[in-house]
Amino acid sequence: MSSRPHLDYRAKSHLSYFAYACHRISGLLLACFIPIHFLMLSQSLRGAQGFEASLKLTDFWVFKFGEWVLVILLAIHLAGGIRLLMIEFGPWRGLRKGWIQASILFAIFCGLLFLYFAD
């Protein structure tokens, strides 16, 4: 027998569980991005030619899409983290579904804003 408690399906279908999962997954994906980012930055230590060669890779559509996804992930993680801080340290009670919806809208807005200002 497992010692894990049996969770009701309703707990995982709640909007706050979705917000938790988005915050956790975006944090993990951002953590995977950091080594790639440091690898690209390390190319500048080898000289301007090495850095220019690695920057040419970012002209492909896959990297442009990845930049957009990165902005969305940062916005989701930021909004989810602020939501958690407000729940932990705020004087109110409950999970506040409006905050979750505002976090989602904030992430969408940041992604659209990035697309608007991108080349």
CATH for 63: 1.20.1300.10
Contact 104, 50 (CB under 8 A): no
Predicted pLDDT at 58: 81
The range of the structural domain enclosing residue 102 comes to: 15-117
Element (H, E) at 93: none
pTM: 0.70
- Residue 92's alpha-carbon distances to 14, 85, 112, in angstroms, are 19, 12, 32
Instruction: Give a yes or no: residue 7 inside a domain.
Output: no
Instruction: Give a yes or no: residue 10 inside a domain.
Output: no
Per-residue confidence at 57, pLDDT binned at 50, 70, 90? confident
Average pLDDT, the chain: 81
Per-residue confidence at 23, pLDDT binned at 50, 70, 90? confident
Q: Check whether 1 has a pLDDT greater than 60.
A: no
Instruction: Give a yes or no: residue 42 inside a domain.
Output: yes
Helical ranges in 8-96 per DSSP H = 9-12, 15-42, 48-56, 61-89
- Residue 119's alpha-carbon distances to 15, 45, 69, 116, in angstroms, are 35, 27, 16, 8
Cα–Cα distance, 30 to 27 (Å, whole number) = 5
Instruction: Give a yes or no: residue 69 inside a domain.
Output: yes
How many domains in the chain? 1
Orientation of helix 61-89 relative to helix 15-42, angle to 10°: 130
